[in-house]
Each structure stands twice: as structure tokens, then as C-alpha cells.
Structure 1
């Protein structure tokens, strides 16, 4: 695991940390001091059925820890279904997630350099596990590019082993392919990596538990407050992630919903529902969208609508423009 993996650092705290031990490394005196690079990590989205098969095969191999030499035997033809084909069809008419995230990353980079001008230059970029630029190649390019710090940030606010954990583990694997740990007096220095046969070294940290940051709740408040007079209740929706750490993931999502409602109005009724994401089997879910929408509808005034909020999504994806609208349309018979 990446050093410091279990402790989230804010960008401000990260930039204030020093590297005093670097001055004591006899074999790597020229520490790169050329700023901080933030790499946003995302799985990506397949644009065709062909790429969807490869995406699902690789995702299944990672999730179930299938050895590489037998990964090709995973029956991808059984993974494609009507839901996935519908997602791909609608995705073809929209902007690619790479372009969407690129614009968002540029805005974040500008904001970071504006609010923290006293620090070194901060640059930002995106890397994808199953798309281009690939996490493997991009992280190697960044690491050899002369930055002094690398911050890995999965673009999923609510931490889960199935999403953020997978991305960070893959990033750690990539780092180990072209760097070695820094050592002082024979002891490994946490967070510091060195590129062998070069003068390059950098500190690496992860920002992976950021759902409690005000930016998450404020984002949704900015969306909901202008429409406050139109709805009488809020239905928050998030993908149902199974396996290890799933209960903590649900608690994190719940806490975000509470913060949004605290800023909106504590008197409004609201519910949290979960659904099977585009790349999941259609399994029974406790607190499903259908069940929670039915419960919430009994609390709504006759002249008010129900606001459906994909609380865990910041950019459009298969879940927000296909899966969730289809579920809502089936439940209430209305096109949202």
C-alpha cells in the first residue's frame, strides 16, 4: 500500500510538509524542487461494445484478483447486456469523459495556484485505469518529469475499496516499477521515492477520503438551492458497492447527504437510496431506489416534485445519464 494511505492530507498541509531528510541522502543530493503535481484518477468509460468487453474483463480480474495468465479466459460475452448497450448508445451522443475531466482539471489547477500562490507551481492532470492517458504510462511520465511532489486523488469522493482502493493500489504498483524507496541510514523514508540512475526524487501522497470536504456539499447546494421552490423532498442516490469496506462507504454517503440537507433545510424530507451501477449485476438491494422513492412520495406535498440527486457523481457518467434515469422512469413513470 502507498505510505500514508490511511491518513488523508489536505493539499495545504501536504505543501507545508518538508523533506529535511533529502539533505542527508548521500546518494541523491539533487532533489527536484519543481512544484507539485496532482494526478486525478478515474476508471474511464468505454465508448464501444468492444472496449466495454475489455473494460469489464479487466475490472473483474482486478476485483476478483484473477492472475494475468488466466485473465483472458474470463467470458466477456456474458457480461454485456441491454443495460450496458444502452449506456454505450447514449454515451456516443455526449461529450467524452476525458474532455469533461480535462476542463474540470484546468479549473482546479487555476484555483489551486490562485489561493496558494506562496507555494510552488501546482499542476494537475488526469489518468485512467482503462482509458487514455493510461494510469501506468502517465504516472511514469509525471514521476520522471522533475516534480517534487505527486498527489494521487481518485475522483470518487466516497472512499471504497472497490473504487478508490483499486486505483491507489494500481498507482502503487506502477510506482514500484520505475522508482525505489528513499533510505536514510539504511531505513526506508515514508512517502519518498527515487528514480534510479537519475537525480529525480519526489514525495507521494494520496487524497482519497475527501467526502467530508465542504466542496462536496457546497457543489450540490449550488445545484439545489435555485430550484428550492420546485421540490418538496430529496432522494439521494448512489451506486451500491459490495465487499470489504462497503458499510463504511454507506456511512460516508449518508454523512454527505446530512451535510447537504443541513445547508438546504432540515425540515425537508429526504431519503438515501442505492442502485446497481452500470457495470454491476442486477442484484437485490436493501434501500433500493424503488423502495425509497415510494416512501418519500408519501411525505411530499401534492404540488411538489421529488429532487433526485446522484450524490456520489461530480461529472456525467453511465450511471447519471442512463442507469439512474431509467430506474426513476420505471418507478414513477416520468421522464426526469
Structure 2
């Protein structure tokens, strides 16, 4: 808090909006053939493909994949990802205002990499209006370099262009001062939300209410083309933690596996022996005949949960998908808990008091 007070004393005295600003980051999802192909070109670029090669890949994939075209046609029957996220925004604001009144007013917005409103415009708006704290939150459960890194590259670029740090002996890169403006704020970044204890508890509760008719669980996650080792380890550890929490109160042990699949924007099959089909076969060999498939890598309904995963599991008897809900109040509360914990931990660090027991440290103590 001392740094914040010091910054405010440097201001010109002009009006500045206080409180906490939360910016939810997502790539967005196309809903027409034109924007689907445009999005694919951008994904190839994020993977490092030259532009000409990306366009050729997009053309080949679009015309050659009936499933990709079905993703686009199916989305007409569902809400857009923007509509879904907007429903979460108001819930997060209300929940955080109740949980952390000392940080209000709390405002929550969303910015998109491939859609509007853009991430750039949202950050510029927050800086123009002023805030005490700006929290950038990736809405992807796990870090996927081709999806999450480009979002934070954009946020860093805008913030470095519009703000600077204090010229002190040890400048704090997260203490930002707007150029030619009295606005100053603390910057926080949250990613890999799927590994936070509140989200672990959320998944365990969802499973607890559904397992009565199943004898096994398959956690389904997409498999990126690169940087797989750290990602797959994080996913496996997260699945283990979910089942650990479940076992504490559930009356019977439930075998589980992690299975990988190619998401909608990848035309190549997952190069892995741990595909969804292989993992289901493995469960069947172990006399497990009813499997609940959990899309651990997705918080919201999208092409993968609406079309890709149903097409993969329909080939297997007694296998059902546990799809994301368009608005899940339990997930709203879990998001708010993650943000609250991060805010309180930041305050504790600023005040130089002993580190509070965060969700992550408490979980590590249990494992």
C-alpha cells in the first residue's frame, strides 16, 4: 500500500478513478467461414508459420475437414463465446465486491485477441479512466504458448507504450505510471487458473455430483504442437489433485486417465499414445465400462466441447461428456476466489508481513 500512496502523491491532483479493474483475456472464437479461416491464419502465425504457408494450410484444412465446417455450422445453435463471457463478468464483479469490499469499486471487462473489443482498446480505456489495480486474467485453464503468449505480448506492448515505471533505485515493473497523466496503478497478471485450488475444488464438486452412474473418469485436454512436456505435466498434476480432493469425501475409488485430442484449430492428429480413444480402451481392459469425459482444458462452451469432443466419444459406448455450462455460478465464485487470493497476497507482500497461506501453498502441503 505504501507504494500506491507514494505514487498518488506524485499526481497532479486531477480526478482519478480508484478501485480494481479486471480484464479477462481470450482469443475469441469465430462464427462464420470467413472469420474461421482468418483465425486459423493467425493461429498458424503464432506457431511460427510464414504467412503464405499459413494460408495454404488454412485452405487445405477448411476444404478437407468436414468436422471443422461442422464446428462453424453447429455454433449457430449456441451462444457466442463473447455472450458467455459477458454473463460471467457481472457475476465476478458482484462476487468480488462481496468478498473484498476493501478493493471496491470492482469493474470487470473482457478483451479479445482476434475479436472486439480488442485487448488494446480495453487496456487503453482502463489507463485513460484510471484505477488502483489492473489485473490481467487469462481465461485459458493452462498456458498454451500459441494461445496465451500472444495475448500477453499484446498487453505488455500496450502497457509499455502507454506507461512507465518510477525512476527509483529498484524500480518495480508492476508499478505503472501513465505518460503525461496523473494515473498510476499496480499491475497484476493471472494465468494457468486451472491449477489454482479454487478451480481444483470446483472440478471435484462437479464430479462428485455426477459420478453415481459412472465407474471411471477421463480428463480430456487438447495437445499443442510444441512445448508439450511442461504442459502435459501440469495437466496430469492438476487431474491428480482433483481426484485427491474427490477421494477425501467420495465413498469409492474411481479410476481415471488423461486423454489428448487435436483441438478445432489443428489439422494434425495428436502424436501421442494417450489419445482419448486409447485411454478409453485402456479403461475397458480394466473392466471399467462407464466413463465420464471431463474437458479439463476448457472453462466455456466452444468448438471443442460442442462438436470435436462429442464426435470423438460417440464412437464409444457408455461414454458421456460433462460439458461446460453457459453460466456456472460455482465457477463464477471460483474465479472470484482466485482473484481475491491474489489481491490479498499482493497486499501482504507490499506491507512486508509474513506471506499468507495461499491456495497453492495449502495444496502443496497436502500433496
Aligned pair in 2 of structure 1 residues 184, 335: CA closer, same or farther (>3 Å)? closer
TM-score (norm: length of structure 2): 0.78
Offset at residue 184 of structure 1 (A) = 2.4
Equivalent residue for 2:241, pick from 230, 237, 259: 259
Whether the 8 Å CA contact 1:300–1:306 is kept in 2: the answer is no
Offset at residue 209 of structure 1 (A) = 3.2
Could you tell me which residue of structure 1 aligns to residue 124 of structure 2?
140
Could you tell me which residue of structure 1 aligns to residue 112 of structure 2?
128
SS at match of 1:314: coil
Q: Distance in 2 between matches of 1:235 and 1:202?
A: 43
Instruction: Kindly tell me the number of residue pairs found equivalent between the two proteins.
Output: 313
Whether the 8 Å CA contact 2:7–2:184 is kept in 1: the answer is no
Could you tell me which residue of structure 2 aligns to residue 282 of structure 1?
268
Offset at residue 122 of structure 1 (A) = 1.6
* Residue deviations 1:58-86 (CA, integer Å, cap 9, x gap): 222233175xxx67983342342322211
Could you tell me which residue of structure 2 aligns to residue 291 of structure 1?
278
As a proportion of its length, which structure holds more helix?
2
SS at match of 2:165: strand
Aligned pair in 2 of structure 1 residues 63, 191: CA closer, same or farther (>3 Å)? same
Gaps of 5+ in 1: 1-15
Whether the 8 Å CA contact 1:40–1:153 is kept in 2: the answer is yes
Whether the 8 Å CA contact 1:129–1:135 is kept in 2: the answer is yes
Gaps of 5+ in 2: 322-367
Could you tell me which residue of structure 2 aligns to residue 320 of structure 1?
305
* Residue deviations 1:177-211 (CA, integer Å, cap 9, x gap): 3x131222486431123332222222222011333
Q: Distance in 2 between matches of 1:63 and 1:140?
A: 27
Whether the 8 Å CA contact 1:31–1:202 is kept in 2: the answer is no
Could you tell me which residue of structure 1 aligns to residue 156 of structure 2?
172
Whether the 8 Å CA contact 2:47–2:146 is kept in 1: the answer is yes
Q: Distance in 1 between matches of 2:246 and 2:80?
A: 32
Greater CA drift, 210-219 or 166-175: 210-219
Whether the 8 Å CA contact 1:272–1:292 is kept in 2: the answer is yes
Could you tell me which residue of structure 2 aligns to residue 77 of structure 1?
59
SS at match of 1:184: coil
Q: Distance in 2 between matches of 1:329 and 1:92?
A: 21
SS at match of 1:189: coil
Greater CA drift, 217-226 or 82-91: 217-226
Q: 1:1-336 maps to which residues of 2 (within 5 A)?
A: 18-22=3-7, 25=10, 32=16, 34-64=18-48, 74-75=55-56, 76-80=58-62, 81-177=65-161, 179-185=162-168, 188-244=171-227, 246-265=228-247, 267-286=253-272, 287-301=274-288, 305-332=290-317
Offset at residue 272 of structure 1 (A) = 0.3
Q: Distance in 2 between matches of 1:72 and 1:201?
A: 43
Q: Distance in 2 between matches of 1:143 and 1:198?
A: 9
SS at match of 1:114: helix
* Residue deviations 1:9-29 (CA, integer Å, cap 9, x gap): xxxxxxx6842552575x767
Aligned pair in 2 of structure 1 residues 17, 219: CA closer, same or farther (>3 Å)? farther
Whether the 8 Å CA contact 2:138–2:192 is kept in 1: the answer is no
Whether the 8 Å CA contact 1:194–1:202 is kept in 2: the answer is yes
Q: Distance in 2 between matches of 1:31 and 1:148?
A: 13
Offset at residue 116 of structure 1 (A) = 0.8
